[in-house]
Chain A
Amino acid sequence: MRRRIIAFAAALTSVFLLTSCGGIKITELNERLIIEAVGVDFSEDGGYTVTVQALNSASPAGNEQSDGNTELTENLVFKGNSVGEALNGISVHTGKTPLFSQARVLIIGFDTAKKNISKALDFFLREYTTRTDILVAVSEGSATEMLNASFGENVIGASVIENALNSGESTGNTVGLPLYKFVNLLLDNKSGAYCPVIGTQKEELSENFRIKIIGTALFSENKLNGVIDSNETCGLLYLIDRVSSADIPIEADGGVFTLRVVDSRTKIKPPENGGSTFLIRINTECDIVEFESADFSKLTKEAVEKVRIACEEHIKKRAGRAITSAYYESDCDVCRFARRMWLSDPERYRAAANEDGSFSEKFAVEIDVGVKIRRTGKETLYEE
């Protein structure tokens, strides 16, 4: 046994020695550039401008030795013929190895998205340290401007953007989309891709900026084909079954009601029996959170019913507008109608795809909304 152990030990040592032990590249944590956000813009000379928001390790949060003047993050801007080349420049400049695993958001400049977004994304799909669930967004202007905006002292910009994108979805304003889902939609020729569009807005009383949700960017064949506003985005969220919470203001019965969506389910049925209409059924449950009228009025059953109907109309209208803008005007199949048809009736899909004209021209969409009022707050219901 002793001999065997010696043999193994000798072999193990020789493994390390013969491969010079340098077989594996060891990078200390302080030799890494911890990237929080990346922005990609096409530059005028045909290459790429990559903006990187990296943590400034010289400014430790909560460290007693910090003088307090150093910013938490530093923005580094480099150009290159490709995204990879530009990022390599950052490595050369800082002497550190970029680490993308902590990156929270990937911002694509508006013009870049218009030209071809897949080119800008390719590096991040291949880079092994990138998270596939990093959030993707298109900036209103350039990505550099977006990332260079100051959101306050000791505030990580990427974190602010990430929070805005996440909370935007929960309030029904925008679609927070991770990279892998976005790419999945881009790659699928039977679906349309979309992602949020965000911008910055200067605060009135300070030099700082805040995030402004513009709406949703719609893509067709890897190119930005249109943008829908936040109201239409809310409709889009209903269509793609991603409404987790949204406030709906309804004017009815002499006052303004605010309804909060607590649950929403959307089902899309492909055309059956030779029909040519996709049926979208949206079932929503809402709570009445506010009833704003001239004076404190009693909430009656009839009024609630009127609100319910008005709410159904409201959702239908929003979803309809979203369909019109995205599906018909921007040629972006956000509801993945073509794919659904391919799944349910491949022969018919094949026939439709072989025919001339776009898919949207051949099939109509019908939206059916059902709203249920669940709670009316603490106040009781009155008989009229």
Chain B
Amino acid sequence: MFSSPFKYNRKKTGNTIFKPKEFPKGRKALKKSKAPVPASLDACIGIIKEKFEGSFDLLVRKCKIQSADGAFVLLDGMCDELKLIQSVITPLTEKQIFTEPGESLPSKIKNVFFKGSGITEKNTMDDALSDILSGCAVLFIDGETSALSFSAQGYVKKSVSEPQTEQNERGSREGFTDNFKDNATLLRRRLRTSDLVIEQIKVGSLSNTPLLFCYLKSKADTALVEKIKKRIDKIPLETVLGAGYIRPFLDKKNFSMFSDTGLTERPDTFASMLCEGRIGIITDGTPFAIIVPYLLADYFHVPDDYLTPVYYATFMRCLRIFCFIIAAILPGLFVALCLFHPGVMPSDIMYEIASAESKTPFPVAAEAIIIHLIYEIVREAGLRMPVAIGHAVSIVGALVIGDAAVTAGLIAAPMLIVVALTAISSSVVSRLHETVAVMRFGFIVIGGLTGLYGIMIGLGLMILDMSSVSPYGIPFTAPFSPFVRSAQKDNLLRRSWRRMGKSVINIDEMRV
């Protein structure tokens, strides 16, 4: 196998003491130091070692560049060593470099030796450090006040696979990965236009997480772009390890059960949203990309809608809305009907429910809460458990809740049917699961206390809450309310591609 011709200067470390003074926290850390690269190689290495105190993966490879001493600094595992040796180190050490008077060695190497985009000159230590952290190999040369950064990243990453949370039948099978560059490629492959802007922004004073800020120049509203950029700039977090860290900063401040932003794991969905004039944010380290603004109607649209016949897509959209309503209010409604309004039910159905309920020890409302809690526990366990055990948990859950509890007379079968229907319905609109799961309990409680009256008040408040959300001036409930006629071609009803017109609707049309 490959053996390195260089000695590894791995620092022996013991238990290190964290020194807060040296690592400023929070917003202070965001302010970059403009300290230049010291001319002394030892000073450079000293600063870096001081910064990475105790890090086993910091590699410092000393070498000779012409007559000067040099050192490559990189992070083990972040950099592709083979690539580095073959394309950088070998040519550098084997070839002669002649510098003109007044010309610096790094500039010569950059401009003559390695013509290309993979090499950049760094004049400050912070820039150099940042590149090291990104997986680049940085070359410091004794006597030079700038360093060279070689882009030779080669860290381990997950390959492109099918999105787990947004499965579809007829569309693309590619989903975003954890690597933001791969995600940018996936996006570029779908939108091959220079109109697509992908800007890189770093957030998190400690994590320095790269975000890709994506939009289409010709479609996105400039004011919206600026507004979102400003919000991102103001994110005071030290670490950003996923899209969920950023979303709250993009939402408006008012408390609401519904968010201004949406998530997607699919590059095709992401690309189509950008085509509608929205802004997309890809976060490094997560396959979930953020879409801003995100409206209520978007929760009921899936990529398959555009690949299936119009009548089917329309039917499915109506069904999804129905499922959302069922998932939120059915258990509460059932409890309310049983306790306060049994007259609404047809006699035969009511008789079956009454006889089943008469054999259970719990009141209907308590029963509903218990089964839902059990369902949520089983769901959570299924999610967190390793896949193999997850199946076992599901089977145990199904047997315990589904069969044993009914046979033992602890739970009535009709209630179980209601819970099952609710659970399945909430899976249909899985993107709203968090909202629906909490609201459902609220509806059970209020339905059990005040019947349909309370349910309707709750529903009214839910509608009001939805209506109060206005992501960046676009009503969350648009194009339903306010009714935007031009958007109706792709709302509840979907027109065929022939009739949809040249371009899709722009999100800005929904601004009132």
Contact = CB atoms under 8 A, between A and B. Distances in A.
Interface of A: 1-2, 5, 16, 21, 24, 26-30, 32, 34, 36, 55, 57-63, 65, 99, 101-102, 104, 129, 131
27 contacts: A1-B253, A16-B449, A21-B449, A24-B449, A26-B339, A28-B338, A29-B350, A29-B354, A30-B354, A30-B357, A32-B354, A36-B347, A55-B354, A57-B355, A57-B358, A58-B358, A60-B351, A60-B355, A60-B356, A61-B355, A99-B343, A101-B342, A101-B343, A102-B343, A102-B350, A129-B343, A131-B343
Contact of B351 (A55, A58, A129): A55
B355 A24 contact: no
Given A1-B253, A36-B347, A99 B363 contact: no
Contacts of A104: 347
What does DSSP make chain B's interface, helix, strand, loop or mixed?
helix
What does DSSP make chain A's interface, helix, strand, loop or mixed?
loop
B364 interface: yes
Contacts of B342: 29, 32, 34, 99, 101-102
B450 to A, nearest CB: 6
B254 interface: yes
B339 A27 contact: yes
B358 A30 contact: yes
A60 B347 contact: no
B510 to A, nearest CB: 25
A247 to B, nearest CB: 31
Contacts of A131: 343
B352 interface: yes
Given A2-B255, A28-B339, A60 B450 contact: no
A29 B347 contact: no
B448 A34 contact: no
B351 A34 contact: yes
Given A29-B364, A30-B358, A102-B347, A1 B255 contact: yes
B453 to A, nearest CB: 9
Contacts of B450: 24
Contacts of B359: 60, 65
Contacts of B343: 99, 101-102, 129, 131
Given A1-B255, A26-B363, A55-B351, 5 more contacts: A1-B253, A26-B339, A34-B354, A60-B358, A65-B359
B254 A1 contact: yes
A2 B347 CA distance: 47
A29 B347 CA distance: 13
A63 B351 CA distance: 11
Nearest to B347: A102
B287 interface: no
A34 B350 contact: yes
A36 B348 CA distance: 11
Given A55-B351, A60-B352, A60-B355, A29 B339 contact: yes
Nearest to A27: B339
A363 to B, nearest CB: 44
B175 interface: no
Contacts of B355: 57, 59-61, 63
With most chain A CB atoms within 10 A of its CB, the pick from B340, B342, B353, B357 is: B342
A61 B354 CA distance: 11
A29 B353 contact: yes
Nearest to A60: B355
Nearest to B346: A102
Contacts of B253: 1
A60 B413 CA distance: 13
B280 interface: no
A119 to B, nearest CB: 25
Contacts of A63: 355-356
B451 interface: yes
A101 B342 CA distance: 8
With most chain B CB atoms within 10 A of its CB, the pick from A16, A36, A58, A102 is: A102
A131 B342 CA distance: 12
A29 B412 CA distance: 12
A62 B352 contact: yes
Interface in B347-403: 347, 350-359, 363-364
A36 B364 CA distance: 23
Contacts of A99: 342-343
B339 A5 contact: no
A26 B253 CA distance: 39
Contacts of A59: 355
Interface in B301-356: 338-340, 342-343, 347, 350-356
Contacts of B354: 29-30, 32, 34, 55, 57
B407 to A, nearest CB: 10
A167 to B, nearest CB: 18
A28 B364 contact: yes
A61 B357 contact: no
